[in-house]
Structure 1
């Protein structure tokens, strides 16, 4: 899980623990293969809503970025839109993944542009040579 995702969960932890309904969310997470049946049972066996929510968040924090997005999706499916909004990041700052993806794309574009420029130079040289008369050298 990326750092900004962990930070969003941690900064909203107390609200998530108080307001989330873990049972339906865990059900959707299991259906989406984000958590296992065993993890789902661990959440269900907790005695209070508070401890179920803590258990669910504990599991999610230990998993990858798929778990974070799965949690948001599960909250929305469970009708917990207000809670899901807590996990929506400000769009002004791209995530580490988005930064790396952008860098990779720019590298590919630059490489493609360089190849095209080189191809144009070679094509130009070939055209210039083909326009010369073959008899020029024999005079």
Structure 2
């Protein structure tokens, strides 16, 4: 089903942004509409969106750079650098945790990280935390 996105949402790791016309499986499209994030498109032949402008599942923006670190077979973290576009005037950075739940389904949580000097400070804090952990581990061995 083709819908017009009325509020940003995430589906299968893909971000859909307000104003986009997308093709989704019928059950997903109905759920998106019910939750207030989309509306069914009722285009006339004169208004029809050209097929190349319809975003299909899995054909959205792709990160310019991505690294994944596996924590265990049921959990990983991904860091992605996204090009400017959509609601962002400059490139953006995300940290995403993917975790398998008790029923075997993958769940994900994504946060947008700062891209300026705050990111450098955050990375320094992470490095300091790692150093502190190493210090504590070496003290436990003594």
TM-score (norm 2): 0.30
Higher Cα Rg: structure 1 or 2? 1
Greater percentage in helix: 1
Q: Which has the higher contact order (CA 8 A, sep 6+)?
A: 1
